[in-house]
């Protein structure tokens, strides 16, 4: 499915803008001729006059194209966690343009997404992943976003099924598996803090994990917001996960995400944090944990090396939703 995000009246407006630039260029030329007559008593020589006309017309065309520059984008989702992805290898879009990112992620006035990802060139890697939350701020690692950008890199024809890429939390590996499944290796988790009724750990992004009952009816947004904005976490923020065991080795996770400031259908780093916390909480005895989210099913695997969780893999579906163009 292709969505060109065409706006009503776009082409008449562009034509009108072009005419305005052309009229401006004509006025500049006329002014130059009048000034020349007044100063020297003669008109410009034909050759110089032709050059000036050509330069003015060229500038006019450049301004016209600048006014209607199209930006290609791709919308991907991984278990309902959706992202606008832009191939920024040649575009050179600014990383600090928060207002533009917020507009693109707006679900009513933009494309709509939980976040935006730039794919960029990086020496020593297949690509670099630069991730922004929907509030426009560059953020920490996004697990589902990582899976989506690996699928995007594959779809763009980078010519392989295994990738090495750099994100804000360090190097990662990604794999394309049969059936639209994508796996990425997450960062090692060196420390997990058990604080009363919850766990706090960093899986590329900071997470708070609490085990609850009747998760389908649990007030995720209200409870998550109160934790995210309490005195401990207000300044830096934290993602808040609520977890219920469904069966041995199977959990259901719902997440309130900072930066989105709402519940999302799935959170990759939150799923990993919840699986590791579950390993401790329930003495799971397994390092292969199935995770259900509102947006679909994921799998987390890891190796335990003393108190450290290494070789951590997040696996699940990732797919293109649509592609299109917007104007900048």
Q: What is the pLDDT of residues 163-194, one digit of tens each?
A: 999 999 999 999 999 999 999 999 999 999 99
For the domain made up of 71-170+321-327, give the CATH fold. Answer: Diaminopimelate Epimerase; Chain A, domain 1 (3.10.310)
Catalytic site positions:
142, 267
Helix (H, G, I), strand (E, B) or coil at 40: helix
Domains of the chain by residue range? 2-68, 71-170+321-327, 192-318
Token pair of 160 as six digits: 């392989």
Cα separation, 34 vs 156, in Å, equals 55
What stretch of H or E contains 41? none
Q: What angle do CA 118, 183, 218 make, to 5 degrees?
A: 85
Asked whether this chain's domains 71-170+321-327 and 192-318 adopt the same fold, the reply is yes
Query: Is residue 167 within 8 Å of 103, Cβ to Cβ?
Result: no
CATH class of 192-318: alpha beta
- In the prediction, which pLDDT does 43 show? 46
Cα separation, 145 vs 136, in Å, equals 15
Cα separation, 196 vs 218, in Å, equals 20
pTM beyond 0.85: the answer is: no
Q: Exposed, middle or buried by CB within 10 Å (0-12, 13-18, 19+), for 298?
A: buried
DSSP class of residue 179? G
Tell me the range of 5-9, 94-98, 265-269 where mean pLDDT is highest.
Answer: 265-269
Range with the poorest average pLDDT among 29-38, 67-76, 86-95, 203-212: 29-38
**Residue among 248, 275, 286, 253 nearest 192 (CA):** 275
pLDDT at residue 76 is higher than 50: yes
- In the prediction, which pLDDT does 4 show? 38
pLDDT at residue 101 is higher than 70: yes
């Amino acid at each position: 499915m292709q969505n060109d995000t065409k706006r009503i009246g776009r082409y008449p407006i562009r034509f009108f803008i072009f005419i305005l630039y052309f009229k401006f260029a004509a006025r500049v030329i006329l002014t130059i001729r009048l000034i020349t007559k007044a100063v020297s008593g003669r008109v410009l020589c034909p050759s110089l006059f032709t050059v000036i006309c050509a330069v003015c017309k060229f500038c006019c065309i450049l301004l016209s194209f600048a006014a209607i520059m199209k930006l290609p984008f791709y919308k991907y989702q991984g278990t309902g966690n959706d992202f606008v992805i832009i191939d920024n290898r040649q575009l050179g879009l600014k990383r600090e343009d928060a207002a533009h990112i917020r507009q693109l992620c707006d679900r009513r006035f933009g494309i709509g997404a939980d976040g935006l990802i730039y794919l960029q060139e990086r020496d020593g890697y297949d690509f670099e992943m630069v991730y922004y939350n929907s509030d426009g701020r560059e953020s920490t690692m996004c697990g589902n976003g990582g899976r989506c950008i690996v699928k995007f890199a594959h779809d763009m024809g980078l010519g392989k099924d295994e990738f090495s890429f750099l994100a804000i939390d360090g190097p990662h590996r990604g794999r394309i598996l049969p059936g639209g499944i994508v796996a990425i290796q997450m960062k090692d988790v060196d420390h997990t803090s058990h604080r009363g009724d919850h766990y706090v750990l960093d899986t590329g992004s900071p997470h708070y994990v609490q085990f609850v009952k009747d998760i389908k009816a649990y007030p995720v947004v209200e409870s998550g917001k109160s934790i995210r904005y309490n005195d401990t976490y207000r300044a830096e923020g934290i993602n808040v996960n609520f977890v219920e065991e469904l069966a041995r080795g199977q959990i259901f996770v719902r997440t309130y995400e900072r930066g989105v400031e709402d519940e999302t259908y799935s959170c990759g780093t939150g799923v990993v944090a919840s699986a590791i916390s579950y390993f401790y909480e329930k003495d799971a005895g397994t390092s292969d944990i199935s995770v259900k989210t509102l947006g679909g099913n994921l799998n987390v695997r890891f190796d335990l090396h003393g108190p450290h969780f290494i070789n951590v893999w997040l696996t699940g579906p990732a797919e293109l939703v649509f592609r299109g163009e917007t104007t900048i």
